[in-house]
Structure 1
Amino acid sequence: MNYIKAFAPATVANVACGFDIFGFAVDEPGDVVEIYRRDEPGIVIADITGDEGRLPRDPLRNAVTVVMLRLLDHLKIFDFGCEVILHKNMPLGSGMGSSAASAVAGIFALNELLGQPLTRQQLLPFAMEGERIACGSAHADNVGPSLMGGFLVIRSYQPLDVFRITVPENLYCTLVNPDIEVNTKDARFILRNEVSLKNAISQMGNVAGLIAGLMQEDYDLISRSMVDVIVEPIRAILIPEFNEVKQAAIAQGALGCSISGAGPSMFTLSKGRETAERVGKAMQQKFAEAEIDSKIYVSAINRDGPRVLATA
């Protein structure tokens, strides 16, 4: 195999109450990576589309290639050479795991090209290094679900311990991306380092309730548990019309609504596609009333993660 083209999906991280420990994959949008083998050793970024020239072309500074270099070093493959083309299909700073999708597409495609020497679970620490390059923190709540698919829980970072939980077949996500940008580093900087015992107890109850609700297909419990008393109240100020958009979503039947990742994208969970699509239109309308354009993506939880699009 001398060529591979692969897709990695966008993700919703935090999922309301689960800051840095919950994340799930969606069907779209996502990033696409093409890798062409070449005779000369080393990785070259041949092109990046969709980034308006904002991403670095240096392989040592781009999330898509840094993870590939780490994998090759781990496998002690020093004579491998390739050209990489990255197709960015989501905006930077969107809160949909943009850098994670790039890193996952790159590491997944390379692993496939090399004959799958590592499992997806084994690839996760390498994919996390792409996040470190992109935003300064090697967190797994975006790269994890993008790489492994489904709804992921990060139980621990030291040591890394992640697992998937089952979710209802009829659970749908509405992801709305307004045409504004929130820098992930800035969104983390404004967070408090300490929380009150009262809020910690409330948040832990919601985390436990959301997991139980998802696994038991208890939509009412899911709805009651999609409450974030620690992060959302602070980050909401970075998103114009946040409260109005959230209220519109709930009014149309969403189980809950919160910030996707660091924002500005917002997400909801709903029972059934019809409700999820209706919710999306209501959210988009609220943004439009504030003269903010937005895009809507509706899908069930993506259980598959990345996939190969073409080989040669």
Structure 2
Amino acid sequence: MVKSVTAFAPATVANVSCGFDILGFAIDELGDKVTVSLTDTPGLKMVRIEGDGGRLPYEVDKNTCSVAIQAMLDKLFFDKGMEISLYKGLPLGSGMGSSAASAAAALVAANALLGNPFEKKDLIPFAIESERIACGAAHADNVAPSLLGGFVLIRDYTPLDVVKLPVPKGLFCTLLHPHLELNTADSRSVLRKQISLKDATIQSGNIAGLIAGLFQGDLALISRSLKDVIAEPSRALLIPGFYELREAIKAAGALGSGISGSGPTVFILSPGKEIAQKVGQISKQVFEKIGLGVDVYISEVNDKGAYVVE
């Protein structure tokens, strides 16, 4: 019997402009790794955390990896033990689904260790429980795409209804991570508690247009639909240079941009790698001009999701 399994789970972009709390997609290469090992001692134990600067908790009821695995084990009535090692490849508070990637990798590793009693889609509810610990909101728009890959729609939570959407060929993402940190709870606190009927109608049209564009491979429709009138106007104020960036990439051929999750990372969708690289260079200049360092990542949309490494 296999005694240890390592899994990788990718970074994600949640919300995708108009799809607040209901849309997300996965990124290539960037992500977290988790190793889970069977032990004779009952219970879970976090034995190693690397890449977090000493900031993440080892307490099993506070770490997203162990919380997610415990939720799965409770379903299985598992009475043996597991040791968990987390290798962070994502910065904390980045808006790239850092906590979700840790939970997704942990679940895929633990599931494989037990002989895969669950399909990947069935792991989502366990990952949602870890998000409740991480940011106080049990949402799936990061964990679902991290597990499944591609674009994912969270249609409803009661009961959970998750729909994987098609990815148009040649769609590239430029991720910009400015060197500042935003707490998810703080980013949620600036959101309006009520919205107008007009804004709700505009947002609904854009969500429908974005999903239709994904199904039809209509990049022009995707571009027209990447507009958020609900969360972005409030959250953009927390990201220096956001609107300057949006103006700068218009002429470069990008489809559109938005805030990844709760920020501060910004995503830009482009019809091809060349344009994605070009807008990355332009964006770096915008942030550097205002004295803010930025990390730039170029990636196709990852349609694979979390997987076993070894």
**TM-score band, normalised by shorter chain:** over 0.9
Aligned match of 1:257: 257
Residues 145-176 of structure 1 deviation map (CA, whole Å, 9 limit, x = unaligned): 00111100011111111101112111111111
Residues 219-244 of structure 1 deviation map (CA, whole Å, 9 limit, x = unaligned): 11111110111111110001011111
Map 1:209-248 onto structure 2 (within 5 A): 209-248=209-248
Aligned match of 2:6: 5
One-letter amino acid of the counterpart of residue 117, structure 2: P
Residues 77-102 of structure 1 deviation map (CA, whole Å, 9 limit, x = unaligned): 11x21221101111111000000000
Aligned match of 1:166: 166
Please, which runs of 5 or more residues in structure 2 have no aligned partner?
A: none
Helix, strand or coil for the counterpart of 2:82? strand
Measure how far apart 1:33 and its partner are: 0.4
Over the matched positions of the two proteins, sequence identity in percent amounts to: 53
Measure how far apart 1:73 and its partner are: 1.2
Residues 24-80 of structure 1 deviation map (CA, whole Å, 9 limit, x = unaligned): 0011310000122222112111111111111111011100111111111110111x2
Measure how far apart 1:249 and its partner are: 2.2
Say yes or no: does 1:71 pair with 2:50.
Answer: no
Aligned match of 2:81: 81
Q: Name the TM-score, length of structure 2 as normaliser.
A: 0.98
Helix, strand or coil for the counterpart of 2:286? helix
Q: Are the aligned partners of 1:169 and 1:300 in contact in 2 as well (CA < 8 Å)?
A: no
Taking the aligned partners of 1:88 and 1:248, their CA distance within structure 2 comes to 32
Taking the aligned partners of 2:148 and 2:213, their CA distance within structure 1 comes to 21
Helix, strand or coil for the counterpart of 1:103? helix
Q: Name the TM-score, length of structure 1 as normaliser.
A: 0.97
Map 1:131-146 onto structure 2 (within 5 A): 131-146=131-146
Helix, strand or coil for the counterpart of 2:309? strand
Taking the aligned partners of 1:190 and 1:105, their CA distance within structure 2 comes to 31
Please, which runs of 5 or more residues in structure 1 have no aligned partner?
A: none
Aligned match of 1:269: 269
Say yes or no: does 1:148 pair with 2:153.
Answer: no
Measure how far apart 1:195 and its partner are: 0.4
Taking the aligned partners of 2:293 and 2:29, their CA distance within structure 1 comes to 18
Taking the aligned partners of 2:218 and 2:262, their CA distance within structure 1 comes to 27
Aligned match of 1:293: 293
Q: Are the aligned partners of 1:28 and 1:297 in contact in 2 as well (CA < 8 Å)?
A: no
Say yes or no: does 1:44 pair with 2:45.
Answer: yes
Helix, strand or coil for the counterpart of 1:128? helix
Taking the aligned partners of 1:48 and 1:69, their CA distance within structure 2 comes to 18
Helix, strand or coil for the counterpart of 1:30? strand
Measure how far apart 1:285 and its partner are: 1.4
Taking the aligned partners of 1:296 and 1:309, their CA distance within structure 2 comes to 25
Map 1:2-41 onto structure 2 (within 5 A): 2-41=3-42
Which range moves more in the overlay, 95-104 or 30-39?
30-39
Residues 119-145 of structure 1 deviation map (CA, whole Å, 9 limit, x = unaligned): 112111001111001000110000000
Counting matched residue pairs gives 309
CA-based RMSD of the aligned residues comes to 0.9
Taking the aligned partners of 1:87 and 1:284, their CA distance within structure 2 comes to 28
Taking the aligned partners of 2:6 and 2:119, their CA distance within structure 1 comes to 19
Taking the aligned partners of 1:249 and 1:82, their CA distance within structure 2 comes to 48
Structure 1 segments, 4+ long, off by >3 Å, are none
Helix, strand or coil for the counterpart of 2:215? helix
Aligned match of 1:180: 180
Helix, strand or coil for the counterpart of 1:181? coil
